Amino acid sequence: MKAAPALLCLALLLAVTAAPAAPTRYTVKNRRIEPNQPLAVALQGAGLPPEQVGAVVAALEGVFDFRKSRVGDQFRLVLREGELDFFGYRQSAVDEWQVRRDGERYVGSKRTIEVEKQVALVTLDITHSLYMAAVTAGEDPAIGMALADVFAWDIDFYRDVRQGDRARALVEKFVSKGRLLRYGEVLAASYQGGAVGTKRVFRYELPDGRPSFFQEDGASARKAFLKSPLKYAHVTSSFGSRFHPVLQYVKAHNGVDYAASIGTPVWAVADGLVTVAANTGAGGNTVCLRHTNGFETCYLHLSKFGQGVRSGARVSQKQVIALSGNTGRSTGPHLHYALKRNGQYVNPLNQNFPRTEPLPKHLLADFRGKVSSLASQLDAVSVANAHAGN
């Protein structure tokens, strides 16, 4: 019986020894950079003590330039027992930085993300719009913007698109872990449309390093003027006389109105010289360009002028010269686009501009050799389409 107290003590000792340790407490905080908020201020706002904010900043010195922080950037804090254990900063799918605790110090680095470049054939069957065709095909709608850029001289992707049209593109895709990060260059593209017929273009790098698009016979895909000053645009008022809802009388409408939300990029339809970049009263913020062969274009009701766009400056075709707006005597956000020829207003929608110079003859053999492979890939029938046809 005298051994009982000893056994009891041993049992109590074992019970204390076997008791589970308290779990480590982790706290995770996800935040975004707000307007006018430096990273250090954002970290303090997330509850990180000043000494640990200083440790993060010191660890990233020479690794990340804090001046390049942008509104909407994401960051994550992982705290272990109230002490910073990990900091992650994400600016895009391929731009991430991190700070990890290593003993008593913090080490910063840029996260390495493996990116693979692929060349893929994208087929878009249009039932409603190019945007919806991309979504239906499981593609990022950005492919529609890329095609609008490639065919900007021949197709207005609002007015010319019809149900049953088909677009195909041989395009570079940058992929990480099977996920599309972004599209690269469009190498070749075709469009079969009820309104525009069949268009086929191929990307070719000229001897001076400039890339351009050409048709299969070497004719340039470029024209002196683009079809539209906007990539996607809905014509709300055509050229000619119309009843003005503000002035309450019929007046000449010397241009075309495009529905465009405030801030939509407006590009120069052709190379030119800026003759007007100012507020013109009824026209609001206005840019006018003088082009060759007696042509002039004007863009009205803008919200903002493009960088470097001022009277006397030269601009190039497809350069963003302004953002659309609602300034002046405007009835709502839109872009008024006008075209003059030899001082007289003409309808921008029925002009047929010539193509620029074709490929020089001495480059045709090299061009055809490279285009042959692209054309074969562009015309390839996907397995899915082959089965659908059976």
DSSP conformation letters of 162-185: -TT-EEEEEEEEEEETTEEEEEEE
Q: What is the CATH number of domain 234-350?
A: 2.70.70.10
State residue 350's pLDDT score.
83
- pLDDT of 188 over the 50 cut: yes
* Cα torsion through 208, 209, 211, 212, rounded to 10: 10
CA 385 vs CA 124, 297, 372, 378: distances in Å: 12, 44, 22, 14
Assigned token pair, 83: 């002490």
Coil/strand/helix, residue 87: strand
State residue 196's pLDDT score.
92
- pLDDT of 330 over the 60 cut: yes
Q: What is the CATH number of domain 24-110?
A: 3.10.450.350
* Helix ranges restricted to H, the chain: 4-18, 39-45, 50-59, 130-136, 142-150, 364-378, 383-389
Give me the residues paired with residue 192 across strands: 166, 198
Give me the residues paired with residue 201 across strands: 189
Averaged pLDDT of the chain: 86
Residue listed under structure tokens 């120069």: 268
Question: In terms of pTM, does the model score above 0.85?
Answer: no
Q: Does CATH number 3.40.50.300 belong to domain 116-214?
A: no
% of the chain residues with pLDDT over 90: 59
φ, ψ for residue 211 (rounded to 5)? -85, 150
Average pLDDT over residues 138-147: 90
- pLDDT of 233 over the 80 cut: no
State residue 36's pLDDT score.
87
Portions of the chain given CATH number 2.70.70.10 = 234-350
Query: Is residue 267 within a helix (H) or strand (E), and if so which, with residue range?
Result: strand 265-267
- pLDDT of 383 over the 50 cut: no
Portions of the chain given CATH number 3.10.450.350 = 24-110, 116-214
Measured at the CA of 125, the angle between CA 120 and CA 130, to 5 degrees, comes to 90
* Cα torsion through 219, 360, 150, 355, rounded to 10: -50
pLDDT digits 0-9 by tens, 298-309: 999 999 999 999
Band (382; pLDDT cuts 50, 70, 90): very low
Band (2; pLDDT cuts 50, 70, 90): low
Coil/strand/helix, residue 215: coil
- pLDDT of 268 over the 90 cut: yes
State residue 255's pLDDT score.
84
CA 160 vs CA 148, 149, 198, 252, 308: distances in Å: 12, 15, 12, 25, 33
- pLDDT of 37 over the 60 cut: yes
Residue listed under structure tokens 């207003």: 345
State residue 246's pLDDT score.
45
Q: How many other C-beta atoms lie within 10 A of the C-beta of residue 379?
A: 13
State residue 123's pLDDT score.
96
DSSP conformation letters of 56-86: HHHHTTTT--GGG--TT-EEEEEEETTEEEE
% of the chain residues with pLDDT over 70: 86
Average pLDDT over residues 363-377: 94
Average pLDDT over residues 121-138: 90
φ, ψ for residue 365 (rounded to 5)? -65, -45
Band (77; pLDDT cuts 50, 70, 90): very high
Average pLDDT over residues 148-167: 89
Look at 181 and 362; give whichever has higher pLDDT: 362
Tell me how far the alpha carbon of residue 158 is from its chain's centroid.
19
φ, ψ for residue 122 (rounded to 5)? -110, 130
Q: Is 103 left (phi over 0), alpha (psi -120 to 50) or beta?
A: left
Average the pLDDT over each of 92-101, 273-282, 299-308 and give the range with the smallest value. Answer: 92-101
What is the rounded CA–CA span in Å between residue 361 and residue 153? 23
Coil/strand/helix, residue 312: coil
State residue 23's pLDDT score.
76
By C-alpha distance, which of 371, 237, 253, 262 is closest to 327?
Answer: 262
State residue 389's pLDDT score.
46
What is the rounded CA–CA span in Å between residue 306 and residue 283? 17
What is the rounded CA–CA span in Å between residue 43 and residue 52? 9
State residue 131's pLDDT score.
84
